[in-house]
Chains A and B, each alone.
Chain A
Amino acid sequence: MMVVVGILLAVLALYGMPLFAVFGALALILFHQSGVDVSSVAVSMYSIAGSPLLVAIPLFTFAGYLLAHSKAPERLLNLSRAFFPGGLAVVALVACAVFTAFTGASGVTIVAMGGLLLPALLADGYNRRFSLGLITASGSLGLLFPPSLPLIIYGYVAEVEVDQLFLAGLLPGILLVIMLATYGAYRGKRDGVRRDPFSFARASAAMRAAAWEIPLPVVVLGGIYGGIITVMEAAAITALYVLVVEVFVYRDVSVRRVPSIVAESMALVGGILVIVMCSFGFVNYLIDAEVPMRILEWMQTYVSNKYTFLLILNVFLLIVGCLMDIFSALIVVVPLIAPVAAGFGVDPVHLGIVFLTNLEIGYLTPPVGLNLFISSYRFREPVLKLASASVPFLLLLFAALVVITYAPALSLVLVNAFAR
């Protein structure tokens, strides 16, 4: 009976049934079958009011959407253009990574930056296929940088300190950017694209234009690591700061437009939090049924060391990344996998970075790669064309994934030095 219901719900999920309803229905049925009152499903919904960490989510998301609707993407692009040599491709990657960190890898980057970048890349002489692949790939680049939403959600679900995760993501994130940027610079050189020599006047003009936004990363990171504010307070400051700067200082966004930006961002926050609410009952049921322990025991009979385990984990997560979006994957898969990984001696902070790198790759792979669909919608190109244009970037991300997986120090060195 349960198997039939499970298969039925899985099929409906593949036909677009919202995932909160899928997990909620599973939780209700499982609890009812085992004779527990269904109100326990609602108990786990209410538990999201118990986490100070989740407070950061609506605040950072709102700040990110506000930035996306302002002229900040343009200023950020000019700023990166003035300071980063190697052609626009490199600039685009850096700017997108920074922007994604603030907008939480929800696809906003492609919508906000892509429209500026594509014409600029083409005008500079990059070919269209390369440019489309670059923008599609860079739409999720930067989700390892603080204060990205997936990092916060991993911290919440895996019960890992978020300030440790914020530090852990820095070097692997930089590695991803450098690898893609090297390819971008090589292509730029090969195709003989336009390159601007460094100009002091241009650089200072770009800095002056973005003067109010440049302190933002300092506020977030400096505040948290200076021990002055918590992650949740950093989120509140960021939201207030961005609101004041974009609406009253730059006047990019009129006061009348703010409610619709609130609505747009809170619909996303609600979409994520309702999955948290509804799937925790289901996840808790699986944990009570000792599913993670059984997976661990089963795996330990076949897999003897951490490195083989990590290989299997990567293959598994790549499949998860192909089938699920990043938020539901984090919420449902992390609680089941974290105990297994701990059993193999994988550091939970390192696990988080491996997890997110895999899911970042999932943004570019059919059938549910979010970036492919957003690019397809934004640039009116078929999904398959974008998927094939992204292949070189995908291969580079794979290479980076191998490094990140098998060199835990890359993720952990800063954490051990500053936060433990």
Chain B
Amino acid sequence: MAIPSAALIVLGFVAIAVLALLRAGLERSARARRFFAFTGRIEIALIALMLLALVLFGCAQILLRNAFNSGLLWADPLMRHLVLWLGALGAALASARMRHISVDSLSRLLPPSLLPLRRLVVYGVTAVAAYALMIAAVRLIANERSYGDVAFLGIRTWVLQLVLPIAFAMITYRTVLAIFLGRESAESGLEE
């Protein structure tokens, strides 16, 4: 993986913004909304499976150690990486609902007419920051691939790190989408 040039980096951001714009355009179609509700459920199911795996491996380790005086050597690194994945995908989920931890004490004082402007500026900068963090993660993976380290069970470290750029790309996309949709949260499909 070559380290992307400045032009490619800008192009990548534009591509994400265009995707978000298209998605926002589909918001009026009931069929499209059902489709995105479906993909939202797949996303949650994936996260639920990871959490279930975390629970089961944790309990299996206790059983193995206390009852059989053994344990799976790869279970600990696996669980730690599951937390990385859960944390990153959970953050992407928090972006869909705009549930990120923030301070936000001044926007209560703004007149309602200025709120869309606030959203544009704050979310715009957030999207750019999230995208820059994605680029940082892509660079990390490019470096890590050249080392070729193995984390556990023959799985290479860079493969496990892939969740970082994926999650930050999702965060970027969802933050831009919230701007286009003109509301505080991005994904209609994820609302209960």
Inter-chain CA distance A414–B98, complex, in Å, is 42
**A41 contact from B45, B86, B136, B167, Cβ within 8 A:** B136
Contact of A273 among B83, B129, B190 (CB under 8 A): B83
Contacts of B55 on A, CB cut-off 8 Å?
59, 236, 239-240, 243
Chain A residues touching B, majority SS:
helix
Judged by a CB distance under 8 angstroms, whether A42 is at the interface is yes
A38 on interface, CB distance cutoff 8 Å: yes
B136→A39 contact, CB < 8 A: yes
Q: Are B51 and A58 in contact (CB under 8 A)?
A: yes
Chain A interface residue number, banded: 35 or more
The size class of the interface chain B forms with chain A is: 35 or more
How far, in angstroms, from A51 to B82 measured CA to CA in the complex?
11
Q: Which residues of B contact A236 (CB under 8 A)?
A: 54-55, 57-59, 61-62
Task: Flag B101-123 by CB within 8 Å of A: 1 or 0 each.
Answer: 11111110010000000100110
Cβ contact of A272, chosen from B59, B80, B88, B101, cutoff 8 A: B101
**A311 interfacial by beta-carbon distance below 8 Å:** no
Q: How far apart are the CA atoms of A28 and B91 in the complex, in Å?
A: 19
* Chain B residues within an 8 Å CB radius of A229: 62
A39 & B140 in contact (Cβ 8 Å cutoff): yes
Q: Are B86 and A58 in contact (CB under 8 A)?
A: yes
Contact stretch, chosen from A131-139, A146-154, A256-264, A294-302: A256-264
Partner of A268, one of B44, B66, B99: B99
Question: Using a Cβ cutoff of 8 Å, how many contacts connect chains A and B?
Answer: 229
Q: Is A271 within 8 A of B101, CB to CB?
A: yes
Chain A nearest CB: distance from B162 CB in Å? Answer: 11
What distance in Å separates the Cβ of A98 from its nearest Cβ neighbour in chain B? 22
Counting from the closest, the 5 A-B pairs by CB-CB distance are A270-B90, A236-B58, A273-B87, A18-B100, A16-B104
Binding site for A on B (CB under 8 A): 41, 44-45, 47-48, 51, 54-59, 61-62, 66, 76-77, 79-84, 86-94, 97, 99-107, 110, 118, 121-122, 125-126, 129-130, 132-133, 135-137, 139-140, 142-143, 160-161, 164, 167, 190, 192
Given contacts A18-B102, A58-B90, A59-B54, 11 further A-B contacts (CB under 8 A): A13-B102, A15-B118, A41-B133, A55-B58, A236-B61, A237-B59, A243-B55, A258-B48, A263-B48, A266-B89, A272-B101
Residue numbers of A with Cβ under 8 A of B are: 12-22, 24-25, 28, 37-39, 41-43, 45-46, 48-52, 54-55, 57-59, 62, 228-229, 232-233, 235-237, 239-240, 243, 258-260, 262-263, 266-278, 323-325, 327-328, 367-368
